[in-house]
Structure 1
Amino acid sequence: MNYIPGKNLIAPDSLSRMPIDDSSGSKELEEEIEAYIHKISLQNIYTKDEDIVQIIQAQILDKECQEVKQFVRSKWPTKIKLTSDIKNYYSIRNKLSLVDDLLLRSNRMIIPKNLRPIMLNKLHAGHLGITKTRIRAKRNMWWPGISKDIELKVKSCPACVQNSRNKQEPLVASSLPDYPWQKVTMDLFKLENKWYIIITDCYSRYFEVEELVRMRMRDVIKVCKATFSRHGVPQSIFTDSGTQFQNLDSSEFRRFMKEWSFTIFTSSP
């Protein structure tokens, strides 16, 4: 007996190349794969089990869904042979599947006609806008023309129509002062457990920041006097509604305002 390397063999050994008949094991593997795919498909549907059962029952009673199911199980004819309703499914036929008799487009359930008004109400719960309602629909349901139906639903919703009319007023910019330090803004802020005051000229946008050793009104007034002595006393000061600038004649800052002859304006609380 002589050994001949495989690369030198002109013809392969027929017995070593003969396939083993294992049709039973192959069938079991196919069933396991199909069961796994069904399980994964149902897990990816974002809805309750009772909703799935309701939709399956509605699909059984819906002529359009039954016809589509038949084509999914067998073979799709040419588009010209389909009715107008079924033609809406032709372009997505490769995305259609059946999982436990539930007709799906990828992981989205096909909604029969009689359930579409109910599902539209569920999709629009919370009065979401057109875009957000469409995004919600993409998670678990589809039917021909769903995008247009969502648009019509939102545009015909009385609450959404009313809210769309109550548009926010545009921001009105304040007028530019005639000269520097005519108008200033003032605010207090805290940074790394230290309090600061910032005074900004509305004409040049120049600002000065000073640290406050203590959060007392007299310390705020001291910084203001030093700043106004260098740049001039403003006609108007704009602040927030903090307690330091409260609208009381008895407050220290109000007395300071009268002595130095400027006006203070506070923002809405």
Structure 2
Amino acid sequence: MCEPLRQLTRKDVVFNWTHEHDEAFDTIKQSVCNAPVLSYYDSKLETVIQCDSSESGLGATLLQEGQPVAYASRALTQTEQNYAQIEKELLAVVFAFKKFHHFTYGRRVFVESDHKPLEIINYEKEIEGTCLSDYSAVSSERQTRIKQATLEDQTLLKLIECIKNGWNKAPREVKPYYSVRDELSVDNGIIFRGDRCIIPKKRKQSKEPLISHSIPDKPWAKVGTDVFTFDGNDYLVTVDYFSNFFEIDRLYETTSKEIVAKLKQHFARHGISERVISDNASVYKSEKFKSFSRRWDFTHVTSSARYPQSNGKAENAVKTAKRIMKKEKHSHTDPMLALLNFRNTSQQATSYSPAQQLINRKTRTLLPERSNQFQPSIPSNVKAKLQKSKDRQAYYYNRNAKPLHCLRAGDTVRIQPNERNKTWEKGIVVEKRQTRSYNVLRENCTVVNRNRKHLRRTSELFNEQREETVDIDPKINDQELLPQRDSRTETELKPQTIGQSVNSETPATPVTQRRSGRIVRMPLKYKDYHLTDKR
């Protein structure tokens, strides 16, 4: 219908309006003025697509009960006009499904075409069913447990009902799955989203109960410290566990020497803390920091590797400091004034400000106050109020928490990797370092510290890799420890026998560690010889 007019728009055609163009123009006007009546689409009715192809265009109609629901058409490109007729007819079918994608995706659709060869090519055939559970990476025993847990989960039972019977009357509990409804399927009593099974809440790893730090009896007795970066600069935050009073220091070098110098200033101002808590960053594990803790007589405690929640006080102070600095940068004001105001703002838990809880008085700010407000006054019942706040927080946190089973020395585990796409390494528990903190021997003869959250017990056998040389990865931030003696096992793990497995009775070959950190082990072919150094 539009082809005579479309030809006039091509660059190689002389514009010459003839009687043929008049007829085409009148036909188009008549079609526009007399648009057909379309019916509403109903997902419960049978859907039919009628499509056809001409020398210069494609056309398609979506029908239900013989009534048109939607029309679509487009012109063929110069390349498409050179297609064979059977290719044009199949192109019309593809065009129709793309145009009516929202009406046809995931539904049974009948296609009507006047091209007989397409019937032979696109004949309806029985599709072989694939059981997703047969190709799942989950063992049959665990599949049984997942299936049983699915049958006990009322929300998933309602979800199965919606998958089988439609989402027209979906209950509120399954609304979170509505956006991915086309990806859901049920196989052998297990719900799959694509090729991944949905784990019931009962089988999911729940969060562990909250274990809070003990509240110190006096200010500045226990402090937390952490390093953070803001606007390209490094800073050190030091926070008091009793008062929430924290200091911010600019670090021009992120070295142990710089951090020790900043902490000495705070200890000279507020007194030496009894305990300092930090993460496992290299600046806190250096020999210089260890020497500093011995000479200044305080206990240094590190949190579990890759588990910042155990140093939550410092992490929360970092979050507050960043928020203050970001707001002051945006408003072009002095961040030290904002920090001063924070230190003099009363806290909800105790009704006292951090300054009052640390130095027993308010400090002067730009806000006008009466002079008697700055008189020293000892806050009362601070520890009891803090404990009450912690108990309330733990009550709400632990409502859906479930403790994980404790691990024992000799248990084989899988270690959660740093990235999701990496394989879980196999290891064996050497000892329990702290609450929920374990030292685990990996198959490459290195020992790392991990929180219980990052370990999964397995029934696999631990196979230690015996290599002649082992390179320590410099990117690993964990504290690489040598196996220590564990009184709960029958095997004695000595530091010099890194290559000896917990369950192995074969004596380990001698090893030496070079200054670079590279571990050199004597080749196994010399295990029956006694070698001496006569240099």
| TM-score (ref. length: structure 1) | 0.49
The higher relative CO (CA closer than 8 Å, separation ≥ 6) is in 1
Computing the radius of gyration from Cα coordinates, the structure with the larger value is 1
Greater helix proportion: 1
